[in-house]
Amino acid sequence: MTIMSEIQDYLREYWTHVSQSLGRKALVASAIWLVGMFAPLGVRTFVTLPEWAAVTWMISWAALGYLFAPFGIWKAQRKKIEELQNRAQTTRISK
């Protein structure tokens, strides 16, 4: 196996894992974040953009990601806790 095929296999398995465990909503949100992160590079191909504006945008976008990432993790953790509590209640009821 070549390194590229191993990377492709890894990315395919990673995509399957993430789509099953996190869902499409999380994948769309991460894709939007990634596009927004590199938006200044795309804009610079069509319009002259000052260097400071591109750097400021990228730093601000990354800061927003660091601000909202814990919220998404918290929501996912809360959902898992609720599922475990519901599962525990159903097993108590069935006994």
Q: In whole angstroms, what is the distance from residue 88 CA to residue 84 CA?
A: 6
pLDDT of residue 74: 75
Residue 63 tokens read as 């800061």
- Placement of tokens 């660091």 in the chain: 66
Q: Model confidence over 24-71: pLDDT tens digits? A: 777 777 788 888 888 888 888 898 989 999 889 888 988 887 777 777
Tell whether pTM > 0.75: no
Structure-token match 């995509």, residue found: 15
Contact in structure between 76 and 22 (CB atoms under 8 Å): yes
Closest CA to 22 of 11, 12, 30: 30
